[in-house]
Copies of this chain bind each other. A is one copy, B any other.
């Protein structure tokens, strides 16, 4: 007997039904916003990640040499792939390009609650607009996607910032500061002690006093204080952009879910503008549920024409933790509209009834295993059949079938040629 590989999940029907309902709701929200589904390869050239240095993802790649000698990898994220796709057809695609897709990704990292080595994300991106409305539409979509799952502002919040605020403030210090190292320190600040945080900032080039001042300023989330401390064009522009995005988010109905949070810096180096992370408001899911932001330089970095971009990628593992915590995760159970039970040699009539009901769009099962009455009834119960149609030899001899409501146990005889007849969704109640 073979075992499953660590960090990879099997999803059996009950849990899968809940996941499917969730994914369908999220994708439906994306479609309504005019995001278009794309399909992408599971395998890409490893160079798409290894050519960039300093990216933690590289250590986590499932990379290998294929039989043709290519150095390839299972994709650990979607962004480089969509960047490649945009570059490949940049002349033909009308802008803005609005894409989404749901699929697995793979990273060889420590397995823990909400984090597997194979994990599913719905990626949603807009290419070709640098306007604040694009950032706001991503925020609005994310908020709608979550509220359509039954979540509310009591369950989640978006912590929003702008990458240049931190960068600009750091730049304004009279020191040779490694901005990216300092931003990575901010990204880690909630998970480490204040002393460790300050040490990382000092390691990035700040003095001890500057580290403390920077920490205070960032914690305050006060955009006016930011502008007075770092009165540079870069910071002013970043603050203004963040304010514009939040104003557009107000028009789009998403402002109420957003909190300004300058700590929010996102770990990935390719972010260039507004960044945000979704958190459990109650703090029970301790990690960020998902994050997103603006990455205006990536397409050009992939050899394309300069193309601004903004996106977000909810991960389904953390999202299901949040939904469970909030009590809105769908019941993990299969559903069945009808089970057509055969007693004796009634297959032709049972098959006719099953076909008629399936044509009406219902989930219908009938016996394909030659089981007894009791075994069929148990099976019907195990798949949560709502109505059992008993096609017994005795019944059919009287040109009847028995309709049984599985919740109440009530049953009644019905002329076989009236079932389903003209009814779209006949149940016991129609015949009692």
Contact B351 A1 (CB under 8 A): no
Q: Bound state CA distance, A133 and B340, in angstroms? A: 14
Q: Which residue of B lies closest to A131 (CB)?
A: B370
Given contacts A43-B8, A128-B369, contact A68 B108 (CB under 8 A): yes
| Contact pick for A36, options B3, B17, B370, CB 8 Å | B17
Q: Which of A2, A84, A104 has the most CB of B within 10 A?
A: A2
* A37 within 8 Å of B (CB atoms): yes
Find chain B residues with CB under 8 A from A108 CB: 66-68
Given contacts A16-B36, A31-B363, contact A9 B41 (CB under 8 A): yes
Expressed in whole angstroms, the minimum distance between the Cβ of A29 and any Cβ of chain B is 8
Contact B3 A45 (CB under 8 A): yes
* A33 within 8 Å of B (CB atoms): yes
Q: Which residue of B lies closest to A3 (CB)?
A: B45
Contact B370 A118 (CB under 8 A): no
Binds B, one of A246-254, A286-294, A403-411, A422-430: A246-254
Contact A368 B129 (CB under 8 A): yes
Q: Bound state CA distance, A72 and B5, in angstroms? A: 9
Q: Which of A20, A67, A89, A134 has the most CB of B within 10 A?
A: A67
Binds B, one of A93-101, A213-221, A260-268: A93-101
* A258 within 8 Å of B (CB atoms): no
Q: Bound state CA distance, A133 and B225, in angstroms? A: 75
| Contact pick for A84, options B4, B43, B98, B131, CB 8 Å | B4
Q: Which residue of B lies closest to A1 (CB)?
A: B303
Contact A251 B34 (CB under 8 A): no
Find chain B residues with CB under 8 A from A348 CB: 251
Contact B133 A367 (CB under 8 A): yes
Expressed in whole angstroms, the minimum distance between the Cβ of A7 and any Cβ of chain B is 9
Contact A41 B5 (CB under 8 A): yes
The number of times this chain is found in the oligomer is: 2
Expressed in whole angstroms, the minimum distance between the Cβ of A375 and any Cβ of chain B is 9
* A328 within 8 Å of B (CB atoms): no
Q: Bound state CA distance, A3 and B302, in angstroms? A: 10
Contact A11 B33 (CB under 8 A): no
* A126 within 8 Å of B (CB atoms): yes
* A87 within 8 Å of B (CB atoms): yes
Expressed in whole angstroms, the minimum distance between the Cβ of A11 and any Cβ of chain B is 3
- Kindly supply a per-residue 1/0 record for chain A positions 1-39, scoring 1 wherever the CB is within 8 Å of any chain B CB and 0 otherwise: 111111011111100110110000000100111101111
Expressed in whole angstroms, the minimum distance between the Cβ of A69 and any Cβ of chain B is 11
Given contacts A3-B45, A32-B362, A133-B369, contact A253 B355 (CB under 8 A): yes
Q: Which of A93, A303, A365 has the most CB of B within 10 A?
A: A365
Q: Which residue of B lies closest to A347 (CB)?
A: B251
* A232 within 8 Å of B (CB atoms): no
Binds B, one of A167-175, A198-206, A377-385: A377-385
Q: Which residue of B lies closest to A361 (CB)?
A: B32
| Contact pick for A38, options B4, B11, B369, CB 8 Å | B11
* A85 within 8 Å of B (CB atoms): yes
Contact B10 A39 (CB under 8 A): yes
* A364 within 8 Å of B (CB atoms): yes
* A48 within 8 Å of B (CB atoms): yes
Pairs A–B under 8 Å by Cβ, sample size 9: A1-B303, A12-B93, A13-B99, A32-B361, A41-B118, A68-B108, A95-B369, A96-B379, A252-B355
Besides the known contacts A5-B45, A95-B369, 12 further A-B residue pairs in the complex with CB atoms under 8 A apart: A2-B45, A9-B39, A10-B40, A43-B62, A43-B74, A96-B379, A131-B368, A133-B367, A133-B370, A136-B368, A144-B358, A251-B351
Query: Considering the complex of A and B, which 10 residue pairs feature the smallest CB-CB distances, nearest first?
Result: A11-B39, A1-B303, A64-B64, A13-B36, A34-B365, A129-B369, A8-B41, A133-B368, A94-B382, A251-B351
